[in-house]
Amino acid sequence: MNTSQISSLAVERARHPLQVRRLEVKRIDRISASFLRIRFAGDALHNFVSASFDDHAKLMLPPEPGQPLVLPEPGPDGLALPPGAQRPAMRDYTPRHFDAAARVLDIEFVLHGDGVASRWAQAAKPGDEVGLGGPRGSFVVPIGFDWHVLVGDETAIPAIARRLEELPDTAQAITVIATADVGDRRAFSTRARLQTHWIETGSTDALARQVAALTLPAGEGFAWAAGEAASMAAVRQALVDGHGLDKARVRASAYWKRGSAGHHETLG
């Protein structure tokens, strides 16, 4: 592989101006056993940017049902809440689909447990307001790799689905996804040659064991993984130590952590 080809596969990091937008629920669709897709709309989306499939934007919700939504405002020291205002509940979500012309943004919610965002999504109705901050930055993985490995639990499905839609027909994609409910397994839309492995949610190393058993294709590839913190640490180890992938060709993130609320962390 020559220098120009290597350069074309370099990951790029982009920064975006911090902005908080007030949006309105436009539409709600049940798309699988545990997933709702909610469409948000608003003129504040006129300059929204999401450059990567694994971007995360901060959704801001009323602190309690029925309470007013007060959002941070620009000030001399950056964004801050007005004096006396109660901080909104905040959770990170993947921008699933954005239509710049229509100024609408889709986000998919996993209805699991008793989390503040899950409760809000289940009770949401058209006209409800939310705040949206970011994305602050994007980790842009080129689509020119020969192959792409995408690993995760339910929380990673929106990002995986978005990535598969972006890949060209010259690419090969391998997905390994753990779900607690078989009703959340879906058919993905992609031009890439796709090999899909669905497994049941189990022990912390269930995904890592399936990843370790993969036969990776020839050529240049990139592996991406997201989900529960301990599980993703095990997956990353299987990719780097087990398959011998260069750490620069692996991106693993903790979208959540058992026993912790609102956890989000890049593992490497």
Q: Encode pLDDT of 57-75 as tens digits.
A: 999 999 887 788 999 987 7
**What average pLDDT score do residues 167-183 get?**
97
Q: What is the pTM of this model?
A: 0.93
pLDDT confidence band for 236 (50 / 70 / 90): very high
Query: By residue range, what is the domain housing residue 195?
Result: 141-266
The least confident of 147-161, 197-211, 254-268 is 254-268
Residues 162 and 124 in one domain: no
CATH number of the CATH domain containing 170: 3.40.50.80
| 1, part of any domain | no
Output the CA–CA distances (angstroms, integers) from residue 42 to 102, 141, 259, in the order listed. 9, 29, 35
Of the three residues 137, 168, 187, the one that is the final residue of a domain is 137
Residues 119 and 170 in one domain: no
| 20, part of any domain | yes
Tens of pLDDT, residue by residue over 90-113, are 999 999 999 999 999 999 999 976
Measured distance CA(121)–CA(27) in Å, rounded: 12
Total count of domains within the chain: 2
Residues 118 and 158 in one domain: no
Residues 131 and 145 in one domain: no
pLDDT number for residue 5: 47
Measured distance CA(26)–CA(40) in Å, rounded: 5
Output the CA–CA distances (angstroms, integers) from residue 208 to 30, 140, 172, 179, 181, in the order listed. 30, 24, 20, 14, 19
Tens of pLDDT, residue by residue over 176-226, are 999 999 999 999 999 999 999 999 988 889 999 999 999 999 999 999 999
Provide CB contacts within 8 A for 19, sequence distance 6+.
Answer: 44, 47, 133, 134
| 2, part of any domain | no
| 25, part of any domain | yes
What is the β-pairing status of strands 137-140 and 147-152? unpaired
Residues 129 and 145 in one domain: no
Of the three residues 85, 113, 137, the one that is the final residue of a domain is 137
| 83, part of any domain | yes
